[in-house]
Amino acid sequence: MNTDTAKVNSSTFWEAYYAKHREPANCSMFAAFVSPFLKEGKRLLEFGCGNARDSIYFAQQGVNVLAIDQCSNELDFLTDKFKDLDHLNFKSGDMTNLPELEASDYLYSRFTIHAIDRSGEQRLLQWASNNLKSNGLFFIEVRSIKDTLFGKGEALADNAFFTDHYRRFITLKDFEHRLESNGFDILYSLESNGLAPYKDDDPIVIRVIAQKK
Ligand SMILES: C[S@@+](CC[C@H](N)C(=O)[O-])C[C@H]1O[C@@H](n2cnc3c(N)ncnc32)[C@H](O)[C@@H]1O
């Protein structure tokens, strides 16, 4: 089965979504879970920050954050709104085709790896491996194949389904192997509900902490 690139490219969907959800809400439960692992003054890069609720939370703790997203309108809004907040910078772009940047101590991806296809994931993991310092930590939360949304919509390649946007559901063991083959050790993984409830939905999601060798 081929994946239609127009369906994978989600920028129009997310620009429209964030035009209606411009203001950052409270940080996610995942960000609160990650926070104790972070040290003030270190560098964190967030892939797919959306309205930057988690990046803002980390910057407020004195972590130097670079928040990346494809939604340039939303990032223009956030750049202006948070111009006086120290430790926070934004960069608009495709997280699967990033240039080399100053190495980070931490990488953070919440609900973004299921928004890209397998080839995009591989470019992102390779980039992550090249741009994370040795022993640096990569924090990931992503939808699992055990999510009740799995199977809803038009079936595409690699456990992906298209509803009003693209979602590619992740098999934990396979994903761990892909991280390992890109130079990471798995320090922690969990697949469970109760981690990312939203309105009436309590999906089974995957959390991973991987460490660059
Ligand atoms: C489900 S939202 C998650 C936002 C945020 N991480 C959070 O948890 O609130 C997915 C985000 O990933 C971004 N995204 C998806 N594909 C992307 C890509 N190829 N490059 C950059 N951002 C991307 C979308 O624009 C959107 O903001």
Name which residue sits closest to atom 26 of ligand 1, judged by CA. Answer: 50
Output the CA 71–ligand 1 centroid distance in Å.
8
Residue pair 125/96 in contact by the 8 Å Cβ criterion: no
Which residues face 132 on adjacent strands? Answer: 104
pLDDT of residue 2: 53
Ligand 1 pocket mutation pick from 112, 165, 168 by most atoms within 8 angstroms of CB: 112
Q: Which amino acid is at 74?
A: E
Ligand 1 pocket mutation pick from 20, 23, 69 by most atoms within 8 angstroms of CB: 69
What residue ranges do the domains of the chain occupy? 5-212
pLDDT of residue 1: 53
pLDDT of residue 191: 98
Q: Is pTM, for the whole model, over 0.95?
A: yes
Residue pair 90/78 in contact by the 8 Å Cβ criterion: yes
In a 3-state reduction of DSSP, which class is residue 56? helix
Output the CA 165–ligand 1 centroid distance in Å.
12
In a 3-state reduction of DSSP, which class is residue 176? helix
What is the Cα 200 distance to its own chain's centre?
22
Q: Which superfamily is assigned to 5-212 in CATH?
A: Vaccinia Virus protein VP39 (3.40.50.150)
In this structure, the residues whose C-beta lies within 6 A of any atom of ligand 1 are 10, 14, 28, 48-50, 53, 69-71, 94-96, 110-112, 115-116
Would you give per-residue pLDDT tens digits along the chain (213 residues)? 555 787 888 899 999 999 999 999 899 999 999 999 999 999 999 999 999 999 999 999 999 999 999 999 999 999 999 999 999 999 999 999 999 999 999 999 999 999 999 999 999 999 999 999 999 999 999 999 999 999 999 999 999 999 999 999 999 999 999 999 999 999 999 999 999 999 999 999 999 999 999
